[in-house]
């Protein structure tokens, strides 16, 4: 080390406060970023794959609530299946079996022969080769020719609500991230102010000896940088480990279908950049604050 | 070198501590600043070391009007001034060596030169055994010598010393006065605030006398005529 420092690198209550606060805020920051990633992944999972999956409902009741003749219903179904097989843009066709349907509705209706009273509609699940809008339009028109009662349901419709949920989560996470950076900045500025107040006499002596503001600011910058670095790396470690534990062991069990945020290189870089950013942010804020205070000396 | 014109100073809303002070010190001069306690010697020093701006009047140091000088000019001017504060104002967590080295570090001198310069001066002022000692472990006289060494280490153009021999025994007091004389002969302008008649008698330099909040200079004494006797 060639550079020497005149002001003490004290491990006083103040630097411990800055250290602890930085660590805690870094943990929160890491959680907020993880939450953002999670919400984004969930949105992707919900939109991916489901885009191309559609369900066709051939109802047994027409729009006026009257039961359609069984022969006619069967005919609608046969015609629909034949139509689907003709269309080249459909990659898979799965007819949902009546037993399957019965099982699905059993919890609500019991296992009586309710189809005598309310016949079951037929459901056909299909997957498109691509989510081309023109294919969907074509299919809709073709189905309408068979019967106006047949409905094509895209999963995207009801997905919309879930997506607005994840979008809200992402927005909240972003606001939390911005707020946390702001709070980190404010707390550092006050720590530097308080430290300069404590070392007022020493600062004044250096000033009277003709030390430029940059010379004095550098000394506070170093202390603040080191404290900020220690705090943010400890916070990073705690935050990372705790986020992993929560995601891996607690969340999947309690929330069905929620997926683990995956970490690619970009995300690892973003996460690793957090403590580094906080360290340098600390140094910059310390410098600016020190300069501002120095400017008040004669 | 220094020119005061109708300078007045008050602290806050208090009365004027200095009223209508005018004088001019030429480069290479040596003056004693004297006057009763509370007369304003330290306050006048404070204006000269640029620790405070006057409430009225003009101060010109090194050819710069300090009322209108930029921050950069003030910083550069301060680097040319060495000050011994009446209360020393050593940095408590730095040892004697580092306190003395401060002005050189501020100037950006390299550590090797700093080491040899500081060691030499510490030897001169009789502090060679105290390099690693913190100020709080030093006696009043030792602290005063650290303060003096710190003031002169960077070979200032102007040396301001507020009661620099107050805590020293006569032998060391004279030794330091000899050091000041030498610095003065090498061109440093010096102002020493003192109550000591014996010092002012021995080293015959013109006196700036503060009384009734204002200043007059008595030029009766002629410089350098009895400093040899002190050696
Ligand atoms: N920082 C200050 N704030 C308010 N008043 C002050 C301050 N410093 C000095 N004074 C007042 O200014 C007057 C002159 O004080 P100063 O310290 O300049 O006297 P002095 O001649 O150096 O005295 P001494 O010989 O005791 O050191 C005193 O009345 C003192 O109360
Ligand atoms: Mg005084």
B117-138 residue pLDDT tens = 999 999 988 898 999 999 999 9
Cβ–Cβ < 8 Å for B123, B49? no
A201 and A286 share one domain: yes
Instruction: Specify if A8 maps to a domain.
Output: no
With CB atoms and an 8 Å threshold, state whether B79 touches A210. Answer: yes
Candidate from A40-49, A120-129, A183-192 with smallest mean pLDDT: A40-49
Cβ–Cβ < 8 Å for B9, B34? no
B57 and B2 share one domain: yes
Q: Which residue has the tokens 């500025």?
A: A189
Which of A156, A191, A219 terminates a domain? The answer is A156
- Condensed to tens digits (0 to 9), the pLDDT of residues B167-185 reads 777 887 888 888 899 999 9
Max mean pLDDT among A8-12, A67-71, B210-214 falls in B210-214
B210 and B226 share one domain: yes
Candidate from A50-59, A75-84, A221-230 with smallest mean pLDDT: A50-59
Cβ–Cβ < 8 Å for A58, A80? yes
A165 and A124 share one domain: no
- Counting ligand 1 atoms within 8 A of each CB, the residue from B39, B42, B88 with the most, and so the one to mutate, is B42
A180 and A39 share one domain: yes
Cβ–Cβ < 8 Å for A215, A7? no
Ligand 1: nearest atom to the Cα of B45: 18
The shortest C-alpha distance from B74 to chain A (Å) reads 8
Distance B229 CA to ligand 2 centre (A): 28
Instruction: Specify if A210 maps to a domain.
Output: yes
Q: How confident is the model at residue A122 (pLDDT cuts 50, 70, 90)?
A: confident
Q: How confident is the model at residue B197 (pLDDT cuts 50, 70, 90)?
A: confident
B122 and B174 share one domain: no
pLDDT higher at A181 or B218: A181
- Condensed to tens digits (0 to 9), the pLDDT of residues B47-61 reads 999 999 999 999 999
Q: What is the pLDDT of residue A116?
A: 61
Which of B127, B155, B183 terminates a domain? The answer is B155
Nearest to A298 among B52, B77, B105 (CB): B52
Examine the pLDDT at A123 and tell me if it is beyond 60: yes
Closest CA relative to residue A220, chosen from A294, A296, A295: A294
Q: What is the pLDDT of residue A105?
A: 63
Q: What is the pLDDT of residue A196?
A: 84
Q: What is the pLDDT of residue B224?
A: 40
Q: Which residue has the tokens 């010393």?
A: B161
- Condensed to tens digits (0 to 9), the pLDDT of residues A44-71 reads 767 665 667 788 888 887 777 777 788 8
Q: How confident is the model at residue B102 (pLDDT cuts 50, 70, 90)?
A: very high
B72 CB neighbours in chain A (<8 A) are: 212
Domain region containing B167 = 1-80+159-231
Examine the pLDDT at B15 and tell me if it is beyond 60: yes
Three-state SS string over chain B comes to: CEEEEEEEEECCCCCEEEEEEEEEECCCCEEEEECCCCCCHHHHHHHHCCCCCCCEEEEEECCEECCCCCHHHHHHHHHCEEEECCCCCCCCCCCHHHHHHHHHHHHCCCHHHHHHHHHHHHHHCCCCCCCCCCHHHCCHHHHHHHHHHHHHCCCCCEEEEECCCCCCCHHHHHHHHHHHHHHHHCCCEEEEECCCHHHHHHCCCCEEEEECCEEEEECCCCCCCCHHHHC
Which of B155, B177, B196 terminates a domain? The answer is B155
Distance B42 CA to ligand 2 centre (A): 4
B16 and B129 share one domain: no
Average pLDDT over residues A105-111: 62
B54 and B165 share one domain: yes
Average pLDDT over residues A83-99: 83
Closest CA relative to residue A93, chosen from A102, A106, A84, A104: A84
B167 and B146 share one domain: no
Instruction: Specify if A43 maps to a domain.
Output: yes
Examine the pLDDT at A257 and tell me if it is beyond 50: no
Q: What is the pLDDT of residue B226?
A: 38
A152 and A165 share one domain: no
A272 and A128 share one domain: no
B114 and B175 share one domain: no
Ligand 1 within 6 A of CB of B36 = no
Q: What is the pLDDT of residue B6?
A: 93
B150 and B163 share one domain: no
Average pLDDT over residues A21-41: 89
Nearest to A209 among B72, B94, B102 (CB): B102
Q: CATH number, domain at B48?
A: 3.40.50.300
Which of B135, B155, B175 terminates a domain? The answer is B155
A40 and A68 share one domain: no
Examine the pLDDT at B198 and tell me if it is beyond 70: yes
A43 and A74 share one domain: no
How many domains in chain A?
2
- Condensed to tens digits (0 to 9), the pLDDT of residues B144-167 reads 899 999 999 999 999 999 988 777
What are the tokens at B152?
């002169």
B67 and B92 share one domain: no
Buried b (16+ CB within 10 A) or exposed e, B199-208: bbeebbbbbb
- Condensed to tens digits (0 to 9), the pLDDT of residues A139-183 reads 888 888 888 888 887 766 666 777 788 888 889 999 999 999 999
A75 and A193 share one domain: no
- Counting ligand 1 atoms within 8 A of each CB, the residue from B43, B48, B166 with the most, and so the one to mutate, is B43
Write the residue with the smallest CA distance to atom 25 of ligand 1. B37
Ligand 1: nearest atom to the Cα of B43: 18
B114 and B220 share one domain: no
Distance B135 CA to ligand 1 centre (A): 25
Which of A101, A124, A156 terminates a domain? The answer is A156
DSSP A41-81: HHHHHHHTTGGGEEEEEE-SB-TTSPBPPHHHHHHHHHHHH
B68 and B167 share one domain: yes
Examine the pLDDT at B216 and tell me if it is beyond 60: yes
A107 and A184 share one domain: no
Instruction: Specify if A7 maps to a domain.
Output: no
> Sheet harboring B16-25: ordered strands across?
B16-25, B2-10, B56-61, B64-65
Q: What is the pLDDT of residue A149?
A: 84
Examine the pLDDT at B90 and tell me if it is beyond 90: yes
pLDDT higher at B146 or A12: B146
A166 and A287 share one domain: yes
Q: What is the pLDDT of residue A294?
A: 86
Cβ–Cβ < 8 Å for A270, A60? no
Percent of chain B whose pLDDT exceeds 90: 61
With CB atoms and an 8 Å threshold, state whether B89 touches A4. Answer: no
Closest CA relative to residue A283, chosen from A293, A272, A291: A291
Q: What is the pLDDT of residue A258?
A: 46
A169 and A280 share one domain: yes
Ion ligand 2 — residues with CB < 5 Å: B 41-42, 86
Examine the pLDDT at A262 and tell me if it is beyond 70: no
Which of A121, A138, A156 terminates a domain? The answer is A156
With CB atoms and an 8 Å threshold, state whether B106 touches A210. Answer: yes
Write the residue with the smallest CA distance to atom 28 of ligand 1. B38
Q: How many angstroms separate the CA atoms of A220 and B219, rounded?
A: 48
Distance A154 CA to ligand 1 centre (A): 87
Instruction: Specify if A108 maps to a domain.
Output: yes
Instruction: Specify if A76 maps to a domain.
Output: yes
Tell whether A252 is within 8 A of chain B (Cβ).
no
How many domains in chain B?
2
Domain region containing A115 = 53-156
Residue A7 belongs to what H/E stretch?
none
Q: CATH number, domain at A120?
A: 3.30.70
Which residue from A minimizes the CA distance to B114? A4
Ligand 1 within 6 A of CB of B140 = no
A171 and A201 share one domain: yes
B99-102: list long-range contacts, CB under 8 Å, 24+ apart.
B99/B135, B99/B146, B99/B150, B100/B146, B100/B149, B100/B150, B100/B153, B101/B153, B102/A6, B102/A205, B102/A206, B102/A209, B102/B150
Q: How high is the ipTM of this complex?
A: 0.88
B130 and B175 share one domain: no
Distance B22 CA to ligand 1 centre (A): 19
Which residue from B minimizes the CA distance to A10? B93
């Amino acid at each position: 080390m060639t550079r020497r420092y005149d002001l003490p690198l004290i491990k006083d209550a103040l630097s411990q406060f800055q250290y602890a606060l930085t660590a805690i805020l870094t943990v929160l920051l890491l959680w907020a970023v993880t939450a953002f990633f999670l919400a984004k992944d969930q949105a992707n999972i919900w939109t991916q794959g489901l885009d191309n999956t559609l369900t066709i409902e051939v109802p047994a009741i027409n729009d006026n609530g009257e039961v359609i003749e069984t022969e006619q219903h069967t005919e609608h179904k046969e015609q629909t299946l034949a139509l689907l097989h003709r269309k080249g843009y459909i990659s898979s066709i799965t007819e949902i079996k009546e037993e399957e349907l019965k099982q699905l509705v059993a919890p609500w209706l019991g296992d009586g022969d309710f189809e005598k009273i309310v016949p079951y509609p037929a459901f056909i699940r299909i997957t498109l080769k691509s989510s081309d809008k023109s294919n969907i339009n074509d299919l809709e028109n073709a189905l309408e020719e068979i019967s106006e009662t047949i409905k094509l349901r895209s999963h995207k419709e009801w997905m919309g609500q879930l997506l607005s949920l994840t979008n809200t989560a992402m927005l909240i996470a972003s606001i939390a991230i911005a707020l946390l950076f702001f709070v980190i900045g404010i707390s550092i500025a006050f720590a530097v102010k308080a430290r300069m107040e404590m070392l007022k006499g020493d600062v004044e002596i250096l000033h009277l000896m003709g030390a430029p503001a940059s010379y004095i600011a550098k000394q506070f910058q170093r202390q603040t940088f080191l404290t900020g670095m220690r705090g943010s790396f400890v916070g990073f470690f705690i935050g990372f480990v705790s986020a992993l534990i929560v995601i891996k062991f607690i969340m999947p069990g309690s929330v069905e279908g929620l997926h683990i945020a995956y970490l690619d290189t970009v995300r690892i870089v973003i996460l690793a950049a957090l403590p580094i950013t906080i360290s340098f942010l600390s140094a910059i804020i310390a410098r600016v604050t020190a300069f501002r205070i120095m400017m008040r000396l004669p | 070198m220094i020119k005061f014109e109708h300078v007045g100073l008050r602290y806050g809303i208090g009365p004027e501590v200095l009223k209508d002070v005018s004088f001019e010190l030429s480069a290479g001069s040596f003056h004693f600043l004297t006057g009763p306690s509370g007369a304003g010697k330290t306050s006048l020093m404070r204006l000269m070391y640029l620790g405070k701006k006057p409430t009225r009047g003009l101060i010109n140091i090194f050819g710069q009007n300090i009322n209108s000088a930029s921050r950069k000019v003030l910083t550069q001017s301060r680097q040319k001034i060495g000050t011994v504060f009446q209360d020393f104002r050593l940095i408590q967590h730095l040892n004697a060596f580092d306190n003395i080295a401060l002005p050189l570090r501020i100037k950006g001198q390299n550590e090797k030169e700093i080491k040899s310069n500081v060691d030499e001066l510490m030897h001169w002022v009789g502090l060679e055994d105290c390099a690693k000692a913190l100020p709080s472990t030093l006696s009043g006289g030792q602290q005063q010598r650290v303060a003096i060494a710190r003031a002169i280490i960077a070979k200032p153009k102007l040396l301001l010393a507020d009661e620099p021999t107050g805590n020293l025994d006569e032998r060391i007091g004279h030794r330091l006065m000899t050091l000041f004389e030498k610095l003065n002969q090498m061109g440093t302008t010096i102002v020493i605030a003192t109550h000591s008649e014996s010092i002012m008698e021995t080293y015959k330099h013109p006196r700036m006398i503060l009384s009734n909040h204002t200043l007059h200079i008595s030029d009766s004494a002629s410089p350098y005529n009895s400093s040899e006797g002190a050696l």
